[in-house]
């Protein structure tokens, strides 16, 4: 299991998750630098992601949409703030309409991804900080109808 | 737990201790449904389905609103989740992504091995 550590901070609405991958830092960077690879890992199988614009430079934008089981589309963007190839990057994540105009109402999360060499592999640290619980909820609703379903399935297991 | 919390937990577990009601919850968490649309999904009377919806509503798991002659029901995700559980759900999203990265890079090794064999 590549996930080695998870920290929840409900006060600051921050999730920090650490994983170790059996590949060099440059290889992990490539997952984010290549839109075709990024879309393979970003969305769950039931909500696949399609990356449209991809400019992984400070001030650049990455835009994507996710397609739900009913063909419903949900668009989002990354506004890239800092880039330190191949050691990591940071960005603000937000929602957009289908023309990728940022949604000004919905709050965004701030994200910092860092990759460091560890014993020939890579330790990746992902930090996501949300502005509000509503924003976090919205992220979960988008592409995570299955998250709600899995929560219900857990209750199923409990009462079975 | 306070008495009120205990009452709420009772209502919650009672509401979810029924296969049809759990199925209704899955549907209304995914989006708003009219009670009549829901009723059409099950091999039972409209009144019976309406009763299930009422139990879920009483437990605070879904909310209803009226639109013309229709009663529209939607799942109240907030009601069943605290911020802590939101972070747990987000963690699941992340675990999914990390597992997919792991699969993707494992593919490199497999492809490399195949190339080596062919060469």
pLDDT of residue A56: 97
Task: Give the CA radius of gyration of chain A.
Answer: 16
Task: Specify the higher pLDDT residue, A19 or B113.
Answer: A19
pLDDT digits over A75-85, tens only? 889 999 999 99
* The predicted structure's pLDDT at residue A1: 53
Interface check B102 vs A, CB under 8 A: yes
Q: How confident is the model at residue B86 (pLDDT cuts 50, 70, 90)?
A: confident
Query: Can you give the C-alpha Rg of chain B in angstroms?
Result: 22
Q: Is B30 on the interface with A (CB under 8 A)?
A: yes
3-state class of B46 per DSSP?
Answer: helix
Q: How many Å lie between the alpha carbon of B77 and the closest alpha carbon of chain A?
A: 8
Q: What is the mean pLDDT of chain B?
A: 83
A34/chain B closest Cα distance in angstroms: 12
Q: Does B51 touch chain A (CB under 8 A)?
A: no
Sign of the torsion angle spanned by Cα atoms B4, B8, B11, B13 = negative
**Confidence bin at A32 (pLDDT 50/70/90):** very high
pLDDT class for B29, splitting at 50, 70, 90? confident
The sign of the CA dihedral A112, A19, A74, B33 is: negative
**How is domain B3-118 classified at the CATH fold level?**
Arc Repressor Mutant, subunit A (1.10.10)
Q: B94–A139: do the CB atoms touch at under 8 Å?
A: no
Nearest to B105 among A17, A23, A139 (CB): A23
Q: What is the pLDDT of residues A110-154, one digit of tens each?
A: 999 999 999 989 999 999 998 877 777 777 766 444 444 444 444
Which residues, 6+ apart, have CB-to-CB distance to B31 below 8 Å? B74
Give mean pLDDT, residues B19-33. Answer: 86
> B112 touching A, CB under 8 A?
no
Give the Cα separation of B78 and A81 in Å (integer): 31
Question: What does the pLDDT read at residue B9?
Answer: 65
Highest mean pLDDT, choosing among A10-19, A20-29, A96-105: A20-29
| Contact map slice: A 34-63 vs B, CB within 8 A | 37, 40-42, 44
> Does B37 score more than 90 pLDDT?
yes
- For residue B50, the Cα-to-chain-centroid distance in whole angstroms is 19
- Residue A29 has a pLDDT of 96
Chain A CB contacts of B104 below 8 Å: 31, 37, 40-41
Residue B1 has pLDDT above 60, yes or no: no
pLDDT tens digits along A34-90: 999 999 998 888 888 999 999 999 999 999 998 887 888 888 899 999 999 999 999
Residues of B (66-85) whose Cβ lies below 8 Å from A: 75, 77-78, 80-81, 83-85
Is A72 in the B-facing interface, judged by CB distances under 8 Å?
no
Mean pLDDT on B68-85: 77
Q: How many CB atoms lie within 10 A of CB B77?
A: 20
Contact (CB, 8 A) for B28 and B65: no
Which chain A residue shows the shortest CA-CA distance from B30? Answer: A145
Residue B15 pLDDT: 81
Q: Is the pTM of this model over 0.95?
A: no
Q: Which residues of B touch A2 (CB under 8 A)?
A: 98-99, 101-102
User: What is the rounded distance in angstroms from the CA atom of residue A153 to the CA atom of residue B15?
Assistant: 14
Report residue B30: phi and psi, to 5°: -80, -20
């Amino acid at each position: 299991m590549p996930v080695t550590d998870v920290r929840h901070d409900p006060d600051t609405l921050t999730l920090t998750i650490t994983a170790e991958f059996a590949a060099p830092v440059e290889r992990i960077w490539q997952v984010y630098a290549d839109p075709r690879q990024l879309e393979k890992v970003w969305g769950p199988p039931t909500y696949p992601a399609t990356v449209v614009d991809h400019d992984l430079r400070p001030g650049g934008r990455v835009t994507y949409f996710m397609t739900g089981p009913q063909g419903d589309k949900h668009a989002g963007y990354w506004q890239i703030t800092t880039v330190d190839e191949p050691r990591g990057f940071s960005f603000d994540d937000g929602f957009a309409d289908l023309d990728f105009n940022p949604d000004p109402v919905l709050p965004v999360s701030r994200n910092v991804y860092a990759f460091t060499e560890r014993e020939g592999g890579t330790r990746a640290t992902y930090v996501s900080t949300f502005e509000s619980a509503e924003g976090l909820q919205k992220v979960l609703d988008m592409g995570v109808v299955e998250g709600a379903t899995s929560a219900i399935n857990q209750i199923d297991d409990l009462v079975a | 737990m306070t008495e009120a919390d205990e009452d709420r937990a009772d209502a919650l577990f009672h509401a979810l201790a029924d296969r049809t009601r759990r199925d209704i919850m899955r549907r209304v968490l995914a989006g708003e449904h009219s009670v009549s649309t829901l009723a059409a999904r099950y091999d039972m009377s409209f009144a019976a389905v309406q009763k299930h919806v009422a139990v879920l509503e009483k437990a605070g798991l879904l909310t209803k609103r009226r639109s013309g002659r229709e009663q529209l029901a939607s799942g109240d995700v907030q009601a069943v989740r605290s911020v802590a559980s939101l972070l747990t759900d987000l963690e699941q999203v992340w675990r999914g992504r990390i597992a997919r990265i792991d699969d993707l890079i494992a593919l490199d090794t497999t492809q490399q091995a195949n190339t080596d064999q062919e060469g």
